[in-house]
Amino acid sequence: MSSGSYQKNGGYQAVAGSEDSSFSETGGSKNKLKGAIIAFFVAIAIGVIGFFSYKAIFKGSSDAKAVESGNVEVNKYGDLKLFDKDNRYVLEDYDAKPTFSSFLPGVAGYFGKPVWSFYVNRGQGIASFGTESKDFPILEFSPANKAYQLTPFVGFRSFVRGTGSLRSFEIEPFAPSRSRNLKEKDNSALPKRIMYVGPNEVEVEEFDASNGLSVSVKYFVLPEEDFSSLVRRATYTNTGSTELTLSILDGLAQIEPSGGRLDGNLKNMGRTMEGFMGVYHADDTLTMPFYKMSTEPGDSASVKIEEAGHYCLSFIEKEDETAELLPIIFDTNKVFGEATALEHPAGWHASSVEKLLKNPQYGDARTSSAFAAVDEIVIKPGGNITVASFYGKAGNIKDIPDIADHITAPGYVQDKFARARSLINELTSGVETKTANRLFDGAVKQQFLDNSLRGGMPTILGNVDGDTNYDEDPTVKVFHAFSRIHGDLERDYNQFKIEPAYFSQGPGNYRDIAQNRRDDVTFLPRLGSFDVQMFLSYIQADGYEPLTVEAIAYMFEDKEKVSKLSAKHASDENSAAVLSKVLLGGPFRPGQLFQLVEQLNINVTSTNEDFLNDVVAQATDRAMAVYGSGYWADHWDYYLDLIEAYTAIYPDGVESLMYDNELRYFFSTATVKPRSQKYVLTPTFDYKSKHVQQLDATYFDGDKAAEQQAFLDPSTGLTSIDANWQRTAEGYAFTSAPIAKLFLLGTIKYAMRDPYGMGIEYEGGRPGWNDAMNGLPGMIGSGMPETYEMYEMLKYVHGIISTYKRPIVIPDELQKMINTINDALDDLQSSGYEDQEDLPFHVPKELFSYWDVVAAARESYRNDVQYYFSGNTTSLSPDEVVPMLEAWMDQVELGMKRAMKISSHGDEDDGTTGIAPSYFAYEVTKWKKNGETNDLGHELVNALAMRVSRFPLFLEGPVRHMKTIQDDKEEMKDVYEKVLNSGLRDKELNMYFLSASLKGQSYDMGRMMAFAPGWLENQSIWTHMSYKYYLQLIRGKLYEEFFEEMRNGGMMIFMDPVVYGRSLMECSSFLASSAFPDPSFHGRGFAARLSGSTAEFMSMYKLMFLGPEPFVLNESNEVEMKLTVALPDWLFEDDDNVGTRDKDGNLIVTFMLFGKILVTYHNPDGGDLFGVSPKKYLIKMKDGSSVHVDGSSVPTETAIAIRKVSSVKSIDAFF
């Protein structure tokens, strides 16, 4: 099977597939050996031809210097390969190509303090960086459109003056004025520029043949230190034939001081802010400047003196001796003079480094710079110097000399750079995969990393050395590190936060966290049911969830336990007493604990690891979240994915999980209004008539906030964590078993079906997954995606109760609502109503009446539990629940059939596509004023009759619909073909639109109508939903279709990199589709990384390498392991990528199971392995023993050992 043309141009290299020394990379037969020898010499010949053709084209140019450097390689077509020798993605002529933005991961290790940093393909890359959030910048945060303009001027700059016997020059490497114009035929007189993108680094490099100088600049986040820094390594290499004397200014054109939350002030009152600014010094040299404000800006009686500041420490790297700090030129005027646009260093041009340093500098009442100054250093031909610079934040100016002494140690920078690389490799080693396709292997690690940055890296704390899981052992704790909301240069609306502390993390959006943690247990089985229990605990009494998920916190209430812990780990009585107060003082996270230990001068004798694990092991963990704003309709959609992932690893734990745990109910300060308070009579857009809209559906409930005040700690002014959980009137947190909470959730969602019984109402003020349909709730909208998910939820609850035949205990208030729902259903059925063949758009009165009664019951229930549960419960037997759920599911199925009849409607869509619609809206055609008004004085009404409205197709409809039919391959195939031939298919890009054409739709539906077609959510390629679609294909066993979509460019890793415009390793949130007016944008990726697509990709990966149920229960109800793969032949070998073979000549691929166990798949025929299990296994144990298994299933004892991981070394599976 041949690869895409860009893959050929990419010049892949084979990657070794097995770590077992018994395997080799050549076949076992003479023919295979002969073929390998021929291929070897052909490859050499082609490589030589390719190399000399490149040299012939670019001989003597900057391009030739780039190749001679050895950093990049050239393929047989004369193009640079996609990867360099360090396996970094290569972007040639980066600053002459369309713009993109991305970021460094912001990971400094568990015991490190990170900075955040964003880069663009302009100037020297870094566009903005700082600590914690964009409110605390070191280089001011700018949204992408401005960053593309500003980065070459206000960001990092280099000014170089060179003199030699044959040349002299004054240049600015990476200056826009010397960028290439790729529309010109000959750019050889201009420097060659290349960007290299690694998992934890970014580098820009310029080769300037005319001046005999190359400059490379690497950036990485300093790992594993108790201070935070962005590290910059600028290397200047003499590529000429004679000695070169260089004078250099290297650094930041603008650096912001420390001074509280500055982002908004810098943008809106920047000149006023400069009045607070100053540059201070840690000694009497110019080598340790400290940038801070005198006080935090403010106009209140409370004045806060600013002690923290930003630093810049620079030196020329030395391997064998301590480096000396370079002086810093901080006075911007000295460098740029009156060239205030910063495009030209007028001051530097008219002076010298020596003169600049001798003359006084001023840093008051102005924005300063941070340039390291190198004065007349001689570099021999082929030689180089590297200027290392550290930009960070320190709590006090007194800390700077210690930091300087630390970082100038011999070899320090090189060691930390190597550690930055190995750190990310360690964090992603759990998904190390070796196939014949290098791009795929790299993408797996990158997607896992980005998935972890959005959802958090699951980490075991407490009992770290055992093999018990969270459910078995109370000393096993789970913490998600490194997470953050996806705020960046393009998602400038999000307020990201990366805690500058050990075990750094930040809050995330509910749906993001819930989706991106979907497969945590797949990669870390010790996590057990942690994620399931945490998310189910967030279900509120009203059936909604909070918006923001925060990291788990830990608490102590046992004073005696704390006293023993403190005595064990503190070095003296005073430290022990203070530590006890800290541990008993309220919830804490690991980073906060270490910050308090440092701030309060608590002397701890144990190592950081031992101290933390001992404390956390004995603490109680508590889930934390924040209401935010509005109730999204889809937050609960992702629970079944979490449960199914758990079940795939622990099928023997399902009953205990569902029945033997008690979970609380989250308590938000917002209440959903009844219809009588949110159905508002408003003027139409032309003011010629009035219509009914659903507005201000939720409100801040002051009485709920008052309830939370009961948990206020007067000594701290903080509200206890217990205030976030709903109680009984007696003050006890009300709990239910997980199965009961799922039943409650399913019941409420069933009661939220729209008047036609099709979609679930968006009655909480927010839409579902597609939040750009923000106007849909106002249109009294509903969604079929949620209906399909609700149907699956009811099926799951039905299955659990039918299987285990145990009763469920529910709140009395819920039972009251159920009684009304069932009575209403009896009335509907006794009315004799049946659907007509052609459904009218006006809702039949029988259905409307049913909806009205059920909606009123829902509102009455919510009123009953608005503040408290009564605490009274009802036990329902399986004999009561099972038939009730079956009756409800019958009604849902009727609604799904109605939806297919009502269908979609839009531009070139007459409603006959046969594809599941996504959304409906309801026009109130008859109403009665109820005598009330809203806050704006608009009259409120009660609806008496409604008419349904339709929308164009959206991809989410068939995606969710496929979940309900994924076991029917024929029906799945039918849906696939219909979608392929519908308005959802982008035929130019071979991808799928998020929506069909929205031409002619009302702006009332939401902001997506405000965007141009093909941009953002308006008919673009929205990667997350596209990947959800692809995931459903492989879930439904449409293997050929799935891999054809993947390889034909549907997934980023197999796109044309020129079209995509950025690293193929990284997903974008959306691609401009062929519907976008400007064709040059088609296929370009925007809004980098941290997309939900990474969760979908990892789920695809799981299904490819493990199968849907790697652990199953046998007929005796005992757990066994049965791997089922979906691996195409090209992952083993294809025309362009040589595979790896075992000692018998069988093609192999390898991956890491549970992050620890090396698994090798042996494929003797080299063909597709679709939906098949191994014929036999060889399991090697760490004690040297082996287990041989004939058959597709691994028996119980060995299966459990594999799941526990610790005793198993490797698995060989033979097909």
Q: What is the pLDDT of residue 52?
A: 37
Q: What is the pLDDT of residue 242?
A: 94
Crossing angle of helices 559-569 and 608-618, rounded to 10°: 170
Yes or no: say if 1129 and 1204 are a contact pair by the CB < 8 Å rule: no
The rounded radius of gyration (Å) of the Cα atoms in the chain is 32
- Using 50 as the pLDDT threshold, list the residues of the chain that sit under it: 1-58
pLDDT single digits (tens) 971-1001 = 999 999 999 999 999 999 999 999 999 999 9
Instruction: Count CB neighbours of 1199 within 10 A.
Output: 22
Reading across the β-sheet that carries 328-329, which strands appear in turn? 168-171, 156-163, 244-255, 368-379, 328-329
Contacts of 706 (CB under 8 A, 6+ apart): none
Q: What is the pLDDT of residue 60?
A: 61
Cα atoms found within 13 Å of the Cα of residue 800, Cβ hemisphere only:
27
- The Cα–Cα gap between 890 and 428 comes to 45
Residue carrying the six token digits 């590190």: 481
Yes or no: say if 770 and 1017 are a contact pair by the CB < 8 Å rule: yes
Q: Tell me which DSSP letter residue 1098 carries.
A: H
- The Cα–Cα gap between 640 and 793 comes to 7
Yes or no: say if 989 and 1073 are a contact pair by the CB < 8 Å rule: yes
Q: Where are the beta strands (DSSP E) in 673-746?
A: 679-683, 690-694, 698-700, 712-713, 718-719, 727-728, 735-736
Q: What is the pLDDT of residue 1023?
A: 97
Q: What is the pLDDT of residue 39?
A: 43
Yes or no: say if 570 and 441 are a contact pair by the CB < 8 Å rule: no
Q: What is the pLDDT of residue 48?
A: 42
Residue carrying the six token digits 């996590």: 527
Yes or no: say if 556 and 583 are a contact pair by the CB < 8 Å rule: yes
* Nearest residue to 579 via CA among 591, 587, 567, 592: 567
SS3 for 718? Answer: strand
Instruction: Count CB neighbours of 49 within 10 A.
Output: 12
Residue carrying the six token digits 């007493």: 577
Yes or no: say if 662 and 537 are a contact pair by the CB < 8 Å rule: no
Yes or no: say if 198 and 421 are a contact pair by the CB < 8 Å rule: yes
How many residues make up the chain in this entry? 1215
- The tokens describing 1189, both together, are 């298994």
Q: What is the pLDDT of residue 860?
A: 98
Crossing angle of helices 812-830 and 738-750, rounded to 10°: 40
* Nearest residue to 95 via CA among 180, 170, 191, 30: 180
Residue carrying the six token digits 């979940």: 963
